[in-house]
Structure 1
Amino acid sequence: MPHRVVVLALDGLIPFELGIPQRIFGLPREPDPLGRGEKLYEVVTCSVRPPGPVPTDADFHIVVEHGPEALATADTVVVPASYALGPVHREGRLTGELAAALAHIRPGTRLVSICTGAYVLAAAGYLDGRPATTHWASADHFQRLFPKVRVDPDVLFIDDGDVLTSAGVAAGIDLCLHIVRRDHGTAVANDVARRSVVPPHRDGGQAQFVRRPLPETGLASTAAARAWALGRLDGPVSLREMAAQESMSVRTFTRRFREEAGVSPGQWLTRQRVERARHLLESTALSVDQVARDAGFGTAASLRQHVRAALGVSPTAYRRTFRTKAMAPGS
């Protein structure tokens, strides 16, 4: 029998994410010269209520033909994201309806979440003491709401054996392809990726998609030093020079800076250089060597080291993903 994947369609679901399991698990087949092999997975969609319409976050409903009893037949349960989880998002507590639905899941069933679907697994206690991830924009809130979960906000997905979680939106594709690879090998997963016109494996994690600008306020006593440094990122900037902009001793400046920015001046400066490099990689055709000089890293080797440490990918891989496609060569 095919491996049965049951996808739980919750009120307020995101249609794109609901469709990921159907697409990725719906393609793999047993090897057959004519391409007519049996499907390796059977994908079923169910609701927490009896069959009927389920509202989405778009301007349409979907009609689900299976109720929560379908969860009892699952080998794998997938929980995509939803924008209408109410107490789950606010208090980390399952509604009675959702708890009753999850009670149908048999022990030993593989559990998978896409994006903020991890809130449901965490509220049900499935993630206690385990590593997990979710969309980077929700990671801090998720960790506060579920302190027993070991949240990693930088990865695209986490495979913890019988419980797997993915980061936001398209990271659900990465996770589902990983599951196909784990179940049936690289060749099958690569074939599904080709037919879906997506890469079989993406480099890096969520960090490359996150912008973390440091808030600047006129009340900060080190704001002038930061503004001065930002205008000189392409050259050397010393701690003593930054302290001089505020007429402070190095010791006092370092203490004040850490209180206001949450990091040391050196760490902040490196972050700003990485942000400058990101901008140049995205918006110009400058060579990696020139980007390294203009961002203040000096050498391409130093740029690669810092970009990979911050973003999880090389400068070249980052540019390939994010550089403006319509930009004229040499601009």
Structure 2
Amino acid sequence: MVHFDLLLPEGGAPGALWSAVDVLRELNALARVRAPRDALPAASWRLLGADGRAHRWHAQTCIDEDERRHARRPQPGPRVLLVAPLVMQSIPALQKLVRRNAASVELVRRRFEAGSLIGACGTGIWLLAQADCILSAPIPWLYQSGFEKYFPGVRMEARESIVAERGCVCAVAPSLLHALVLHLARYAGLADLAHAGAEKLLLNTERQALSAAMTGTQVMGQARDTPLYLAQAWMQAHAGQPLRLAEAAAAASVSERTLTRLFHQHSGMTPLKYLQGLRVQRAQMWLEGTFRSVDEIARDCGYGDTSAFCRMFARATGTSPQRYRDRYTFRGPRARWRLQETSLPEA
């Protein structure tokens, strides 16, 4: 079990920590689905005040006795400290608030030195910098000049939204709180649950577009009149059929040679490699979210030979389809998902 201490410093934004509880509760729900007989949840949590003691609002973060019990007596396992962002009026006011949070800064420093994972987002990163825990961090553009003034020894990462190093994980903005908690869970040993949780809680634009092709609806995107886009859209819509390069080229109104050149030029791969990537993504989505057999998935990915499909999948992912399903499935035993027919009363 991974235990999260959720630190609400003076002037902190409590809503961020409530969002963290939502993520942890989702991870516990996934863990229960996968292992219904396991008595322990994957994660527990406790809300701390600025002094490091249980906050008077802690009871509101727990909805049942199990959550309260595990918060009072965390099981042995990794420890994570998540720091809420600070509400800011101005840079000088923010720095004064950081100084007033000396007890929280000291708690962060002690936990860091003890080997706990530390997480923060937005202005909460200032407390980690004050505690000398970080060498680099993603700082919002609006605060960069002020941050550099007070913490010149911390390198600002303008191109990264989440930065992890030395046991600290920092997200540039509170809007990334869900992703931040999933990163912390992954580093704390819950990688499989974090992977599944990300598909439930975060937008996956690539899979969202692919799902449109899988259901037969139009794939949305940019530059829809270009030959490469037209060919890719055709391949997405026909990914479950054997590749006929001539048909893909005809859909794009170019020759086969031109289409191959366009794929090399813009994606660095052949049309066949692109199609295999689509098929792997389709297979991953079905393995994670359905009970379809590997034979069915292989057939609907355009493979008449399941063994050939499994070899292709293993080359692309490093594991077999069944092992991939065992690690990343959203679903528990099939019997738990059986739909019960009920009669509806007449209006």
TM-score (norm 2): 0.47
* Structure with greater contact order relative to length (CA < 8 Å, sep ≥ 6): 2
